Structure formats: C-alpha cells, structure tokens
Amino acid sequence: MYSLIFLLAMAAVVIGIQFAMRFWRMRRLTHWFRRGTEAFAAERFEEALPAFRKCVGIAPEWLHTRTLLAMCLAQTGEQQAALKEITLVEQLQPRHGETWALISLFYAMVMPDKQEHLLQALQTLYELEPQVAAKLIHKPQFQRFDTEPFQELFRRIKEWEAQHDKETPDGSGQPE
C-alpha cells in the first residue's frame, strides 16, 4: 500500500516538474521572441540576432523564428549562414504552404537577387496552397518582380484567384 502511495506521489512530482518546465520554456520563448521582433521591426538586426538564436535554441522546429533569424543573418552580411537557416526551414516542413510562404518572403525581402530561388518557392507555394500564394503576391515586396517567369506565375495565380472568387455568390471564396 505504501509503495502505491509512493509511486503516485512520485508521478505527481514528475508531472508537476514537466508542467513547470513547459511553462518556463514558453515564458523564455515569448520573452526572446518579443525582444527579437521589436529589434527586427526597428531594423536593429545585430540586436535581434541573439534573441532569435535563443528562440531557435528553445524551439528549433518553429519556422517563424528560423526565418526571422535567417533574415537577420542576411541583413548583417552573413549570407551563407542565412541560406543554411532557410534550407533548414525547408527541410523541417517541406509539404506545408506556410513553409514556402516564409521562404518566399525571405527571398523577396532580403535576397531579391536570388530570383530563381524565389520563383521556385512561389511555384511550390502555389502548388500546395494557391489561396496563400494569391494573397502573398499582392504584398508590396513582390511588386518589383516583373520579369517574364514571375509575370507568368502571377498570371496563373490571379486566374486561379478569379476563378475561385466566382465560385461563391458573394465572391468571398467561402460557401454560404
């Protein structure tokens, strides 16, 4: 009987420790993410780098922090490290549209000279989630890409968007 009570007490202690660790982990992650995004928004990329590195250390599979880390690395002249991070983003969730939206934004915002990579990312996004691609190409970061391959892809995305807007009576793309 005492051994059963002891086992239950130990289980409660272990579960309590696990909950506490999760709480403190999320609290640290929130703290560093907030510091990183504030510095990033103010274009203080050197200051944002250690914050996003901490976030990646705490939650290595969180695509947003890896992408923001890659953007900061690119903005501070560390192009090879930035490309390594964005490759990791791709490898973590290669069949999710969110991955390719983040990769597209990365190339459009900080490495616009890598147009072949951007075009491939947008193409993959369009194949996986055309509705997300349709929203993304209307952002100002994508307006400067006016070469023929981009225009052809943008035309296909806009055709998809127009067709799906017509499918509902109110044009919202959502069923009534």
Using CA atoms, how far residue 109 sits from 24, 106, 165, in Å, is: 33, 5, 28
Residue 59 has pLDDT above 70, yes or no: yes
- Two structure tokens written together for 91: 């490898």
Q: Rounded to whole angstroms, how far apart are CA atoms 82 and 74?
A: 5
Stretch among 1-5, 79-83, 103-107 having the lowest mean pLDDT:
1-5
**pTM of this prediction?**
0.82
- pLDDT above 80 (res 51): yes
d(CA 126, CA 120) in angstroms, rounded, equals: 10
Burial class (CB in 10 A: 0-12, 13-18, 19+), 103: buried
Provide the 8-state DSSP code for 147.
Answer: S
pLDDT in tens, 7-47: 777 777 677 667 667 768 889 999 999 999 999 999 999 99
Strand ranges for the chain from DSSP E: none
Positive or negative torsion for Cα 94, 100, 102, 104 = positive
Render pLDDT for 132-164 as a digit per residue (tens, 0 to 9): 999 999 999 998 998 999 999 999 999 999 998
- Please report the pLDDT score of residue 176 as a whole number: 45
